[in-house]
A and B are shown apart, each in its own frame.
Chain A
Amino acid sequence: MARQEALHPGHPIDISPALPAAAAASRPRPVAAERWLIWLFLLPTVLFLVLLLWLPFLQGVWMSFHKWPFIGEPEWIGLQNYRDLFGAAYFWTTIRVTLLYSLSTALQLALALAAALALNQSFIPLKSVWRGVMLMPYAMPPVVVGAIWMYLLDPDLGMVTHYLLSWGIISKPIYWFSDPLWAKWIIMLVASWTFWPFMFIILLAALQAIPESYYELAEVYGANLWRRFRVVTLPHIRGAMLAAVIIRIAWNLAKIEQPFQLTGGGPGYETSVLSILTYRFAYLSGDFGMAFTVGLLLILVTFVLIAPFLHGFQKQIKQARRR
């Protein structure tokens, strides 16, 4: 406004020099030293994640549009990889197994919740010992746990087969890892056994943060065990539970070592969860383009699976902020 007036023909006084100064002053000046520190501190993180994560990822997206052999020239083929994949029967087997495998998260949650609730009671003695024991499967390398179960489930020498036979539950040894019926269930169960303590520790931490007075209050109002759980416990651990489920779904789908070790993705494609399929294309067929095509679909499946929980978690955050 003022500037227009100043420029208006015939206006005798030019007031414009005052304006730039005023405009400059309205922008807050950062404390120079602090700006410097912020960018310096951020640099490694950003560099690492861009160079190690997002760039390779983008390169991978690029590769998925190519026939990209291990040796030799890549060739642009557009969406051919995707078309091939959707047309292949094994792909749909893979999707089915992946969904079953991700059900492991539910089993982990059940175990973790039971253990955390039990251990959170004040009357339990030797808490830290039990806690330590429960963390064991998660603490060890997954390959170690895999090796243990390979031994226990071995059809000839394994303890499990032995007891099932001697109790008459099965009549002849089952080749758990190569049986088309059993293999996918076994990798799911072993994954649950390995990874449930991660959820357990998150839930226990959340439970311990609930002030005792809430329970006392609920008791004063005559709430029974179930109501106390519903009204006090559950609302307090919902956020942690959702976060744990989200992370676990994503990590279960991404971690390949156990199915890789136990079944190698077989028999056929019966235990080739998407991450294994990626691996098979990359290292067994040397088809990097296809490997990444599968990988991108894995991301897609992951996000579809975690989306409802992510939504719930964000709602939880909003509620917590409002409080």
Chain B
Amino acid sequence: MAMHTRRATLTPKVLSYSGLAVVLLIVLIPYGYIALTAFKPAEEIFDVRWLPRVWSLDAWRYAIEFEQFHVYIYNSMIAGLGAAVLALCVAVPGAYVFGRKQFRGKDVMFYIIVMALLFPFVLLVVPFTILWVKIGLYDTMPGLWLAYQVFIIPFAIWILRAYFAELPRFLEECAMVYGCTAFKAFWRVMLPLAKPIITSLMFLAFLVGWNDFLFSNMLTTGQGPRTASVIIYVSAVGGERVEWDVLMVMTLMAGIPPVLLYILAQGQFLKTFAVRSY
């Protein structure tokens, strides 16, 4: 019996630890290597070794002083913030209604919205470019915010609707009996209750703006609000010779903030991503 128990608990341990180790190595080796590269002086890029012989901040200085990369980081931030705020203003009321109210055509409408989740957004680049030029949104920040919504809104509504639907029944009705209008019941009761999930969706929406390359590249020019993603793309693909040390600095600068966000909010993200099969 004792033997049996020992074996039964040992197998999952061995399996789990080895699985974990393999996955962690797959993720960590590349990151470790490029993080160290960012601290190598330019001439050390040419030989492959892990630790820099001389620790140097040259690449960082170059990225900021010469490439002005912090400006693009700032652009990315504004792009993400605007996208998040706009997305919430649109998606939260919509999801609330889908989650808790009855009206005609609700199921069909919801279906159409969620299907948009599976839509290949690259298709929209062409019509957007034409439209944006026509209405003056081309090469502007609001133009980017607006464009990102096609990624964000379907996803946000999908997630939020389920959350609202699962809140206890009768809450708004109760609020209305005790003196709220329908809107006040939403504002004073439902919104505070959904705060955690709304925060987490705000983070995710921010990351859509921060991480996006497709629209940022197509809907802006060199004179406009280029985001960090676009600059990284240009630096990696554009010239004849790539300054790898500088590029790795840029990847760290653009890559670390979202990672911090994820680490900060991972518990909440887990709840957000809990797919309900109903």
Whether A and B touch (Cβ < 8 Å) is answered with yes
Binding site for B on A (CB under 8 A): 31, 33-38, 40-42, 44-46, 48-49, 52-54, 56-57, 59-60, 63, 111, 114-115, 117-119, 121, 123-124, 128, 130-152, 154, 157-159, 162-163, 193, 201-202, 204-206, 208-209, 219, 224-225, 238-240, 243-244, 246-247, 250, 253-257, 261, 264, 275, 278-279, 282-283, 288, 291-292, 295-296, 298-299, 302-303, 306, 313, 316-317, 320-321
Q: How far is the CA of A169 from the CA of B274 in the complex (A)?
A: 43
Residue of A nearest to B207 (CB): A139
A56 touches B127 (CB 8 A): yes
- Which single member of B20, B101, B126 contacts A34 (CB below 8 Å)? B101
A142 and B262 alpha carbons, distance in the complex (Å): 15
Query: A144 and B117: CB pair below 8 A?
Result: no
Cβ-defined contact, A147 with B97, below 8 A: no
With A52-B150, A320-B278 given, is the CB distance from A33 to B182 under 8 Å? Answer: yes
| A132 touching B214, Cβ below 8 Å | no
When the two chains form their complex, are residues B15 and A48 in contact, meaning their CB atoms are under 8 A apart?
no
Ranked 10 nearest A-B pairs via Cβ: A239-B277, A45-B94, A56-B127, A41-B93, A254-B120, A118-B19, A140-B255, A162-B48, A141-B211, A295-B123
The answer to whether A205 touches B93, judged by C-beta atoms less than 8 angstroms apart, is no
Residues of A contacting B125 in the complex (Cβ-Cβ under 8 angstroms): 279, 282
Measured CA separation A154–B30 after assembly (Å): 13
Query: Are B120 and A38 in contact, with the CB atoms below 8 A?
Result: no
B45: interface (CB < 8 Å)? yes
Contact B30–A149 (Cβ < 8 Å) = yes
B205 within 8 A of A: no
> B93, B116, B271 — which one has the most chain A CB atoms within 10 A of its CB?
B93
CA of A56 to CA of B124 in the docked complex: distance in angstroms?
7
Is B248 a contact partner of A124 (Cβ separation < 8 A)? no
Verify A142–B211 contact, CB threshold 8 A: yes
What are 15 of the A-B contact pairs (CB < 8 Å)?
A40-B93, A48-B153, A52-B147, A53-B124, A57-B123, A60-B123, A63-B127, A111-B23, A114-B22, A133-B27, A146-B233, A157-B46, A205-B274, A206-B275, A279-B122
> Known contacts A42-B97, A134-B27, A250-B117; is A143 also within 8 Å of B123 by CB?
no
Residues of chain A lying within 8 A (CB to CB) of residue B108: none
A157 lies within 8 A of B93 (CB): no
Q: Which residues of B lie under 8 Å from residue A154 when comparing CB positions?
A: 244
| Contacts A48-B153, A292-B126, A295-B123; A139 near B17 (Cβ below 8 A) | no
Known: A42-B97, A142-B211, A288-B126. A150 touches B236 (CB 8 A): yes
Query: Are B273 and A38 within 8 A (Cβ)?
Result: no
Contact call B126/A291, Cβ cutoff below 8 A = yes
Q: Which residues of A contact B211 (CB under 8 A)?
A: 140-142
CB 8 Å contact bits of B237-278 with A (1 = contact, 0 = none): 100001010011011001100110111001101110111111
B27 touches A257 (CB 8 A): no
Q: Restricting to B116-136, which residues have a CB under 8 Å from any CB of A? A: 116-128, 131
Chain B residues positioned under 8 Å from A295 (CB to CB): 120, 122-123
Contact B277 A48 (CB under 8 A): no
Q: Which of B19, B127, B228, B266 contacts A131 (CB 8 A)?
A: B266
Given A132-B262, A151-B248, A157-B45: A115 and B153 interface contact (C-beta under 8 Å): no
Residues of B within 8 A of A225 (CB): 8, 11-12, 15
**Chain A residues in 8 Å Cβ range of B258:** 139-141
- Checking A56, A205, A303 against B270 with a beta-carbon cut-off of 8 angstroms, the contacting residue is A205
**Residue contact A46 to B109, C-beta cutoff 8 Å:** yes
Given A133-B28, A147-B232, check contact A44 B94 (CB 8 Å).
yes
A-contact 0/1 string along B96-118, CB 8 Å cutoff: 11000101000001001100111
In the complex, what's the smallest C-beta–C-beta distance from A238 to chain B, in angstroms? 8
Are B48 and A48 in contact, with the CB atoms below 8 A? no
Give chain B residues whose Cβ lies under 8 Å from the Cβ of A238.
277
B24 close to A (CB within 8 Å): yes
Known contacts A56-B127, A132-B263, A144-B232, A34 near B182 by CB under 8 Å:
yes
Q: Nearest chain-A residue to B11 (Cβ)? A: A225
Whether the Cβ atoms of B30 and A115 lie closer than 8 Å is no
Instruction: Map CB proximity to A onto B10-38 as digits: 1 under 8 Å, 0 otherwise.
Output: 01110111011011101110110110010
Q: Which of A41, A52, A117, A321 contacts B96 (CB 8 A)?
A: A41
Bound Cα distance from A282 to B129, whole angstroms: 11
* Distance of A79 Cα from B98 Cα, bound (Å): 39
* Pairwise interchain contact B19-A57, C-beta atoms closer than 8 A: no
On whether A208 and B270 interact (CB within 8 A), knowing A151-B248, A292-B126, the answer reads yes
Bound-state Cα–Cα, A320 to B15, Å: 31
In the bound complex, do residue B213 and residue A143 qualify as a contact, i.e. CB atoms below 8 Å apart? yes
Other A-B contacts than A48-B149, A141-B255, A243-B277, 9 sampled, CB-CB below 8 A, are A56-B128, A111-B26, A121-B13, A144-B250, A239-B276, A250-B117, A254-B122, A261-B233, A292-B123
CA distance in complex: A128, B214 (Å): 32
Closest chain A residue, CB of each to CB of B13: A123
Partner of A141, one of B11, B150, B229, B278: B229
- For A288, the chain B residues whose CB sits under 8 A away are 126
